[in-house]
Chains A and B, each alone.
Chain A
Amino acid sequence: MELRPILTTLRRHKTASALIVLEIALSCAIICNAMFLISQRIDHLNRVSGLAENELVRVQLTGIGKDDNDVALTATDLAALRALPGVRDATVTNEVPFVNSSWNSSVNMSKDQQQPTLSSTVYMADDHFINSFGLKLVAGRNFGADELIDWKTFNAPNAKVAIPSVIITRSMADKLFPGQQAVGKSFYSWGDDPMRVVGVVEHLVRPSEQGGDVGHEYSMILPLRTPYTVGGNYVIRVTDPARRDEVLKAAIDTLKRNGPSRIILADNTMTFEALRAKYTQQDRSMVWLLVAVCIALLVVTALGIVGLASFWVQQRTKQIGVRRALGATRGQILRYFQTENFLLATLGIVLGMMLAYGINQLLMGKYELPRLPALYLPVGAVALWLLGQLSVLGPARRAAAVPPAVATRSV
């Protein structure tokens, strides 16, 4: 296949060629970045939470005004919930993952440290917390019932209660004590006394987007037994995921009966799967939007190539007729146009890659994205080559169908 004639022809139709090249370049750049964003969001959506999500339901409630009896009421609540049929375990805590509010505390390795080592979220738990959430202990042990401290005692003015033990996540253990056994070591967070790590769980994600990609699992569990007035989150684990709705309803009825002057926050009371779906709605919309834009871009680019190629074929009808008269086969005419398109697409893709990296640099600066991995470039390139070839097929076939007799006509 002689490239020289193709290049000469293209040089004479500089404008149209430039347009095709630019269009492919811009499409390539946008599509590469869009696909990268899609994969980032999907990674984000598929993050491991550490919870047994399909077995959990959450009820959030609140009292009206102060409740001086909240500690006792919470205890009876939990007893009633744990006794419900279909319930494996239940706990009360100050915060849950997949919501926008969180308790966070800075963590220091030494008492007088000026800059904190990291910021971690604080889950206040009783001894049923780990079993209720379905967390997996990979080192150490759970809290014993004698280690638990009442929140009211701890939070009272001038109380000097030290929290003796804490359970942290593996991510946090790796950051605080890299390469070492975390169980048995201590750090400082709440109060003036050190807390000793007694257990490490494999995963426990933080609420909200605290911590970004690096710190999204910096969580610690403190043995503080909270009454329902602190956060009001009852988390119930069921034995059979198919009975979740039934158990949720029963739980709401039980809690209402147990403490009649309380309000169940219906917007926040649902299964954990629903909670996570609601929380990640934004990411999912973005993924769909990006997919739609990619498809639309490909369609628009394809149509553009079809339009311009048709025009070219029409312009060069006499030229094609002459070539056919001189003995060129249909296949040769077809291949001519395909090669021409391939060359333009190559040029467009090269330009597009550079533009893609440029756009990625901009996004990195403004939206905290990592660098575009090299994998996307060949994928984008192949996609656009294929697109170009498919688009030019129709007009090229029409060109190949030009009969040689056209060459001898004078109009």
Chain B
Amino acid sequence: MFAYYFDLALRSFRRNKALTALMVLAIALGIGASMTTLTVFHVLSGDPIPNKSRQLFVAQLDPASKDGYIPGEEPADQMTRFDAETLLRQHRGVHQAMMTGGSAGIEPQQAGMDPFYADARYTSADFFQMFDAPFQYGNGWSGREDDKHERVAVIASDLNKKLFGGGNSVGKALRVNGHDFRIVGVLAPWRPTPKFYDMYNDRFGELEQVFVPFSTSRDLEMDRSGSMDCWDDHRDNDDPEGEAGVNAPCTWIQYWVELDTPAQVSAYHQYLVNYSDQQRASGRFERPTNVRLRDVMTWLDVNKIVPGDVRLQLWLAFGFLAVCLLNTVGLLLAKFLRRSSEIGVRRALGASRRAIFAQCLVEAGTIGLVGGVLGLGLALLGLWAVRQQPNSYNALAHLDVTMLLTTFLIAIVASLLAGLLPAWRACQVAPAIQLKSQ
């Protein structure tokens, strides 16, 4: 039966080429626009670390002074160095890491290569294990290297290719900021999307190229990059490190902890509350206790990871799709009602209303399928155009299998929905009237 309906549909298309083409085009445009924006949205709102995102938490405290305090406000989204180092020392989580962004001046040992700057991350040892960082050669360092402020480094695969041709460079020297570091590990190509661990350093950009222990970075006074929020004058004390000092009244460090069970999560939350209370009792914290412990997806949500423009474009595309669908409804109505006499004949010969309805839906679905294929082509073109934009996240706009299937799903469902009203009107055609000679 289905094949027969399909055949009828094709015949009808051939008879009304212009009308069919119009409908297919309208659906294709709507689908193309929607799928382009939906794919970009899908890429940007995805889970960067699916098998662990519910076990990784960012800890937030409220260490600032009473000045500028508004009750009910969110606590600081980064930590002071004092708090981060204290929490790290007390290590109440399964794993924990403190980190911040930075930049490293690399002086290649190879002749003929100019010195260049690379994005760096200063972190404690647990970073690699917590975030499932894939290693190509070697591995990360341990807490011992952190404590001894050793000059070790993990480099990313791009840097390894640039400096060492992609070979095993574990044990080799890397000259950073005029000091020699020993490479202990080389990461495999890795691009967490987004870089959820730091919201202030190009969220969708490429991975940092150099990872060094945080303690070492402070010894060598390496430049940091990211956001620093100071609520007081750090010049009030003698610390030569200034705003990056241990006691500086500045938040600039990201603190992540891995907790495996809900019991551990609530225990750690309580620990943060107790810690805040202690700090307030000792006079260091001035604000009421205000802690947060958020997992990866909640953290991304709070930080509004999907840019407003992308959301706006998504809604715009869906509005456009709605108009295209209304268009299709109208044109399908015109198409079916034009064939009233044919429908009348079929009904007179014994076709039930349901049969007519089904046949019309099949026709609508076929238009949706063809429109979907064309729309897929348009979406690929649209995504290509998006990738030409110089933004950091646009390079990630690729159609994956999920989005491919979604394209066809949306095309067929939308066209079936669009076809409901016209099909219903078509099957209401009274045979007797149509059979009269008019």
Contact = CB atoms under 8 A, between A and B. Distances in A.
A304 B177 CA distance: 65
A293 B33 contact: yes
Contacts of B322: 26
Contact of A296 (B117, B311, B320): B320
Nearest to B328: A304
B26 A300 contact: yes
Interface string A106-120: 100000011110000
Interface in B11-70: 19, 22, 25-26, 29-30, 33, 66-70
Given A26-B319, A310-B334, A367-B312, A64 B327 contact: no
Interface in B68-91: 68-70
Contact of A114 (B67, B240, B331): B67
Interface string A55-69: 000000011111000
B391 A26 contact: no
Contact of A308 (B25, B68, B179, B331): B331
B338 interface: yes
A26 B330 CA distance: 14
Interface in A89-125: 106, 113-116
B282 interface: no
B173 interface: no
B329 interface: yes
Contacts of B233: 190-192
B261 interface: no
B437 A410 contact: yes
A106 B68 contact: yes
Contact of B177 (A20, A64, A285, A286): A64
Interface residues on B, range: 35 or more
Interface footprint category on A: 35 or more
A351 B33 CA distance: 25
A27 B26 CA distance: 14
A278 interface: yes
Contact of B390 (A19, A157, A281, A300): A281
Contacts of B30: 300
A245 B32 CA distance: 41
A22 to B, nearest CB: 6
B389 A300 contact: no
B105 A63 contact: yes
A318 B236 CA distance: 94
B409 interface: no
Interface string A140-166: 000000000000000111111000000
Interface string B83-126: 00000000000000000000101010000001111000000000
Contact of B107 (A64, A114, A300, A307): A64
Given A65-B177, A114-B66, A308 B323 contact: no
A155 B179 contact: no
Nearest to A299: B29
B316 interface: yes
Contacts of A311: 333-334, 337-338
A130 interface: no
B66 A304 contact: no
B68 A411 contact: no
A76 interface: no
A367 B315 CA distance: 12
- Which 3 A-B residue pairs are closest in the complex by CB-CB distance? A311-B334, A64-B105, A65-B177
15 contacts: A15-B421, A16-B330, A19-B329, A64-B115, A65-B178, A115-B70, A155-B242, A281-B391, A286-B313, A293-B316, A293-B320, A297-B320, A300-B320, A300-B327, A308-B333
Given A115-B70, A293-B33, 10 more contacts: A20-B330, A29-B319, A62-B117, A114-B69, A159-B235, A263-B117, A278-B390, A289-B316, A300-B324, A307-B331
